[in-house]
Amino acid sequence: QQPVQSPQAVILREGEDAVINCSSSKALYSVHWYRQKHGEAPIFLMILLKGGEQKGHDKISASFNEKKQQSSLYLTASQLSYSGTYFCGTETGNQFYFGTGTSLTVIP
């Protein structure tokens, strides 16, 4: 029931783009994205609600494909500060589960 994230880990050079995917086996009502830097608390990034909307701020955006029951997080022109573990959280009916996370490392 927990969503599956891919890739599990990715290494980027500063300025490169990345996509992180989150897939569910159940119909989704909403998808949430969080980022956790090593030794710190997870920080909320955005919520996407059913309806296929796309959201974003700065150079981080996300899409939600209701039919495919998946969401993608897009990081463009990555910065060193983007490094961390990205978690999706999925709401299906009255259940909510976090994914296993994607470790993203941006190097100079």
Partner 1 sequence: ETGVTQTPRHLVMGMTNKKSLKCEQHLGHNAMYWYKQSAKKPLELMFVYSLEERVENNSVPSRFSPECPNSSHLFLHLHTLQPEDSALYLCASSQGDRQSYEQYFGPGTRLTVT
Q: What are the residues binding partner 1 (CB under 8 A)?
A: 2, 29-30, 32, 34, 39-44, 47, 87, 89, 91, 94, 96-101
Distance in Å, CB of 25 to partner 1, minimum: 15
State which residue, 27 or 43, has the beta carbon closest to partner 1: 43
How many residues in the chain?
108
| Bridge partners, residue 6, by sequence | 21
* Exposure class string for 12-39: b at 16+ Cβ within 10 A, else e: beeeeebebbbbbeeebebbbbbbeeee
Minimum separation from the CB atom of position 108 to partner 1 (A): 27
CA-based diameter of the chain, in Å?
Answer: 42
Closer residue to partner 1, CB minimum distance, 13 or 40: 40
74 or 97: CB nearest partner 1: 97
